[in-house]
Amino acid sequence: MGRFIYGNGNTKVEIEDRTLAHLQQVVGAKLRRSESFFFTWKDDASVGGGRHAVWIHPAADIEFKFHGGREPQLSREWLAALATVASSPTGLYVVPEPAPRAASARGGGAELYGERMGA
């Protein structure tokens, strides 16, 4: 399990490494475009449950800390689904990974906002 750490480090949430890698790509793409948005997640029952939301903006301190050392394979479909919700009025939250479609002629990796992601 990796960690998403926001602001001064007081806001932390554990997220599976592969999910965190997809979130990093979507957050990075939006911030490169100077787009601000909410990021929301459900807190684990062990910390009281509930829901947590932070306002992500280009000047925010954000850290993605991964448990493993290997970069996971990124899903083009999942990146697109996450980018869609991130651009909605609700903001970014983790949606289930869509079933993979037939591989594109370009091969591995994914593209988000016209930028090549992973291989």
78-90: pLDDT as tens digits: 999 999 999 999 9
The gap from C-alpha 70 to its chain's centroid, in whole angstroms, comes to 17
What predicted TM-score, i.e. pTM, was given to this entire model?
A: 0.81
Q: How far apart are CA 3 and CA 13, in angstroms?
A: 6
Determine contact, residues 76/104, Cβ cutoff 8 Å.
Answer: yes
Residue 39 near residue 53, CB atoms below 8 Å: yes
Q: Model confidence over 55-98: pLDDT tens digits?
A: 999 999 999 999 988 888 999 999 999 999 999 999 999 999 99
Contact 7, 53 (CB under 8 A): no
Cα distance between residue 96 and residue 3, in whole Å? 19
Average confidence score pLDDT of the chain: 86
